[in-house]
């Protein structure tokens, strides 16, 4: 069911236990039941109704918050999901309730020193789309850098062959990186578009070519933009939006 994109593994377990899964017209309520590829899987409307209540939240994460569990005294980003921090520009029409915090988890990392778009979701389908093994959703970042003692007009002196390496040719932990789109936005800022998300990937890539990252902001995930969402505030993913 998870592989077909019907739900997350956790949801599949819950639905089976509640008798909401039908295989070839027979309700299945035993976990681990084997299903052949040619068999027809149907989902009870009650499961779809419950799934429709799941929320996905877009947060403009500030520096100083970790994406996931609290660590080293730093608070997790989910603690910012409060009524007070709900952006008044949200046009989703969804009303906040405490139940929306249940099983709300980040779909992808954004390290403590970085800002920008962080997605938190209750929906396993969204998480799979963004961070699943076969995900091909691209993520866009604006990255402010220094080069040696140089803080401006770096684009004029940074070697073209090093820029080419950032685009393709670097390895992290002895694993070659996928091709990336990298270009200068101005004399001190690069634009990165990646289709993978290794830990501190952009910072480590820049170090390998002599650049020091002094600011990193994620501005897009797939077709969803950070836009005008203020730092420290959040909004719901609208019904008409998709990654």
Q: How far is CA 56 from CA 23, 112, 180, 235, 239, in A?
A: 29, 21, 27, 9, 10
Question: Residue 50 above 80 pLDDT?
Answer: no
Question: Which candidate, 171, 196, 203, places its Cα nearest to that of 181?
Answer: 196
Sort residue 172 into left (φ over 0), alpha (ψ -120 to 50) or beta.
beta
Question: Residue 144 above 90 pLDDT?
Answer: yes
Contact, 141 vs 194, CB < 8 A? yes
Mean pLDDT, rounded, of the chain:
93
Question: Residue 70 above 80 pLDDT?
Answer: no
Q: Which residue has the tokens 């897009």?
A: 220
Q: What is the pLDDT of residue 9?
A: 81
Question: Residue 157 above 90 pLDDT?
Answer: yes
Q: What is the pLDDT of residue 177?
A: 96
Q: What is the pLDDT of residue 64?
A: 95
- Kindly name the residue from 13, 44, 111, 138 that is annotated as catalytic: 111
Q: How confident is the model at residue 71 (pLDDT cuts 50, 70, 90)?
A: confident
Overall CATH class of domain 53-135+226-236: alpha beta
Taking the CA of residue 176 as centre, how many other CA atoms within 13 Å lie in the half-sphere pointing to its CB?
6
Superfamily of domain 139-221: Alpha-L RNA-binding motif (3.30.70.1560)
Does 111 participate in catalysis according to the annotation? yes
Looking at the chain, the whole-number percentage of residues with pLDDT higher than 90 is 75
Burial class (CB in 10 A: 0-12, 13-18, 19+), 239: exposed
Q: What is the pLDDT of residue 186?
A: 97
Q: Give the span between the Cα atoms of 171 and 181, in whole angstroms.
A: 16
Q: Which residue has the tokens 């009303």?
A: 95
Q: Give the span between the Cα atoms of 175 and 154, in whole angstroms.
A: 28
Q: What is the pLDDT of residue 52?
A: 78
The structure tokens listed for 160 are: 């073209």
Residues of the chain with CATH 3.30.70.1560: 139-221
Largest CA distance in the chain: 70
What is residue 174's three-state secondary structure?
A: coil
Q: Give the span between the Cα atoms of 194 and 74, in whole angstroms.
A: 27
Q: What is the pLDDT of residue 165?
A: 97
Enclosing H/E stretch for 111: none
Q: Give the span between the Cα atoms of 94 and 56, in whole angstroms.
A: 11
Residues of the chain with CATH 3.30.70.580: 53-135+226-236
Q: Give the span between the Cα atoms of 229 and 122, in whole angstroms.
A: 21
Q: What is the pLDDT of residue 68?
A: 87
- 175 φ, ψ (degrees, to nearest 5): -120, 120
């Amino acid at each position: 069911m998870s592989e077909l994109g019907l739900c997350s593994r956790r949801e599949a377990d819950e639905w089976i236990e509640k008798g909401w899964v039908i295989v070839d017209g027979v309700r299945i309520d035993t976990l681990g039941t084997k299903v052949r590829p040619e068999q027809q899987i149907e989902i009870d409307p009650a499961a779809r109704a419950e799934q429709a209540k799941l929320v996905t939240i877009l947060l403009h994460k500030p520096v100083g918050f970790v994406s996931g569990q609290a660590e080293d005294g730093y608070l997790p980003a989910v603690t910012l999901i409060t009524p007070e921090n709900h952006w008044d520009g949200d046009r989703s029409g969804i009303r906040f309730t405490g139940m929306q915090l249940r099983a709300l988890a980040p779909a992808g990392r954004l390290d403590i020193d970085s800002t920008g778009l962080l997605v938190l979701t209750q929906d396993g389908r969204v998480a799979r789309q963004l961070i699943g093994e076969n995900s091909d959703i691209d993520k866009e970042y604006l990255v402010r850098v220094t080069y040696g003692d140089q803080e401006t007009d770096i684009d004029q002196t940074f070697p073209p062959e090093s820029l080419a390496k950032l685009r393709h040719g670097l390895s992290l932990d002895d694993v070659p990186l996928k091709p990336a789109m990298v270009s200068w936005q101005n004399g001190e800022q690069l634009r990165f578009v990646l289709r993978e998300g290794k830990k501190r990937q952009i910072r480590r890539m820049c170090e390998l070519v002599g650049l020091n990252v002094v600011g990193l902001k994620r501005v897009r995930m797939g077709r969803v933009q950070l836009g005008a969402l203020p730092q420290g505030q959040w909004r719901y993913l609208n019904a008409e939006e998709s990654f």
